[in-house]
């Protein structure tokens, strides 16, 4: 079997000007990848008829599947449905089940009258297969032309997700067969991308042609992903598993986890396995570390809370940072973060603590303390450890990198690597 290729087309001016971030493509690509469909192109176009037509023409050339999201709403800039009607040579007709559903939503749930603008959402081209949208007012549509399946889905994320899982994926599985696609991912820390590439160069050079290795650097860490395809799932898994074991051995000194999981999940699992807890004392990150630690289900088992000590008075009064330290070496210092870590651990009664203080930018620097200078501290009942970082990004990314590095420093303390 060959790979089945797909293109995703997202429609909307808001995507092109950056007002809305396109998360739909990522979800659709992941859903297709799971069933062996390779997304070879993603196209974003504005609310422009010619641009959409050009995208449809281009997508149909080398793909069996085209998935379109956006432009199915009730307003004047929602031009996808009439355009598709003309493109495929249809005539707009009322889809009675959709009309009944839309009427129920407005009159029974929202207690609002139906207006013509909303009633028109039940109109669909008579050349399409309607994908009933239980979660919203815009039905999905499937068009077929020259062996290519064109799916049109609303841009509202929860509606798009439901239609993808309920209609799109089953239809594709019923009508197409393709190679299985498999991935294996691990996370490394403590080594840069270029040095990592040098380290595993012999492994990479020996990879068979059907297996690809990708480097995914982020937040000062690097994920490595092996990807392969084969008509036999068992053969694919055997090959990937064998190569993945070799890759893990090659990076063993820098390996964080042999799964595609974020650092906060890795650390959370370590803490839960030991029945241990952690608290945070944050200055420059403003609570972002606490956000990461608490964003996943089950975090209440290990994260007790934190103190956001942005002002020096809070550091002094609530985290016992000595005024003499603040006056001499300052808040962005080894001494300050170590006192912060020790104090928050004691006050929260936890096994571990994280503390951070730094200069995120774009101002606040001095000759001695440049932008991106960050001290991170971690502590347990035996010791406190601190580390200095110099970051080079903008404020938002500096905060994100600091948070991930802080959680990684805690990981190293938990596993007795520092």
What's the chain's average pLDDT? 94
Tokens representing residue 139 in the block: 């039905």
Burial 240-278 (b: 16+ CB within 10 A, else e): beebbeebeebbeebbbbbeebbbbbbbbebbeeeeebb
Tokens representing residue 116 in the block: 């013509």
* 8-state DSSP, 393: S
List of residues 6+ apart from 301 with CB closer than 8 A: 271, 272
SS3 9: strand
Instruction: Quickly state the pLDDT bin for 2 (edges 50, 70, 90).
Output: low
pLDDT of residue 1: 52
The stretch 236-260 carries a mean pLDDT of: 96
Reply yes or no on whether the pLDDT at 349 is more than 60. yes
First to last CA, the chain: 50
Q: pLDDT digits over 107-158, tens only?
A: 888 888 888 888 899 999 999 999 999 999 999 999 999 999 999 999 999 9
Q: What is the CATH number of domain 4-175?
A: 3.40.980.10
Indicate the class that CATH gives domain 263-414. alpha beta
Interstrand relation of 4-11 and 37-45 (parallel, antiparallel or unpaired): parallel
Among 180, 238, 219, residue whose Cα is nearest residue 34: 180
Among 222, 219, 218, 214, residue whose Cα is nearest residue 195: 222
Residue 189 φ then ψ, to 5°: -145, 150
Which residues lie across from 115 on neighbouring strands? none
List of residues 6+ apart from 306 with CB closer than 8 A: 279, 280, 281, 282, 287, 289, 290, 344
pTM for this predicted structure: 0.78
* Residue 345: HSE in the Cβ half-sphere, 13 Å Cα cutoff: 23
Range(s) for CATH 3.40.980.10 in the chain? 4-175
Considering just the CA atoms, what is the radius of gyration of the chain in Å?
Answer: 27
Indicate the class that CATH gives domain 180-257. alpha beta
Range(s) for CATH 3.30.70.2860 in the chain? 180-257
């Amino acid at each position: 079997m060959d790979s089945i290729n797909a293109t995703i087309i997202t429609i909307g001016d808001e995507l092109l000007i950056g007002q809305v971030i396109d998360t739909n493509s990522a979800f659709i690509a992941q859903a297709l990848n799971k069933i062996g469909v390779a997304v070879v192109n993603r196209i974003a176009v504005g609310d422009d008829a010619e641009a959409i037509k050009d995208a449809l023409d281009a997508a149909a050339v080398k793909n069996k599947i085209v998935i379109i999201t956006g432009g199915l709403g009730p307003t004047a800039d929602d031009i996808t449905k009439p355009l598709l009607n003309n493109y495929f040579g249809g005539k707009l007709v009322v889809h009675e089940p959709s009309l009944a559903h839309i009427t129920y939503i407005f009159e029974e749930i929202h207690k609002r009258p139906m207006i013509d603008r909303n009633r028109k959402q039940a109109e669909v081209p008579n050349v399409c297969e309607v994908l009933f949208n239980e979660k919203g007012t815009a039905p999905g549509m499937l068009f077929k032309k020259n062996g290519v399946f064109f799916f049109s889905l609303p841009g509202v994320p929860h509606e798009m997700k439901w239609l993808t899982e309920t209609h799109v994926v089953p239809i594709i599985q019923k009508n197409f067969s393709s190679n299985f696609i498999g991935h294996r991912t691990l996370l490394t820390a403590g080594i840069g991308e270029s040095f990592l590439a040098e380290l595993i160069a012999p492994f990479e050079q020996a990879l068979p042609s059907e297996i690809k290795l990708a480097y995914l650097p982020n937040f000062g860490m690097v994920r490595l992903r092996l990807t392969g395809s084969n008509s036999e799932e068992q053969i694919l898994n055997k090959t990937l598993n064998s190569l993945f074991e070799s890759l893990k051995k090659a990076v063993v000194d820098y390996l964080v986890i042999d799964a595609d999981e974020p650092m906060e999940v890795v650390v959370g699992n370590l803490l839960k396995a030991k029945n241990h807890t952690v608290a945070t004392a944050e200055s420059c990150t403003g609570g972002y570390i606490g956000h990461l630690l608490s964003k996943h289900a089950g975090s209440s088992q290990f994260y007790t809370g934190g103190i956001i000590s942005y002002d020096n008075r809070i550091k002094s009064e609530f985290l016992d940072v000595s005024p003499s330290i603040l006056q001499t070496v300052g808040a962005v210092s080894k001494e300050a973060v170590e006192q912060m870590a020790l104090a928050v651990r004691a006050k929260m009664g936890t096994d571990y603590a994280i503390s951070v203080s730094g200069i995120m930018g774009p101002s606040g620097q001095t000759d001695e303390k440049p932008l991106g200078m960050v001290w991170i501290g971690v502590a347990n009942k035996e010791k406190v450890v601190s580390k200095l970082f110099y970051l080079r990004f903008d404020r938002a990314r500096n905060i994100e990198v600091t948070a991930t590095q802080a959680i990684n420093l805690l990981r190293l303390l938990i596993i007795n690597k520092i």
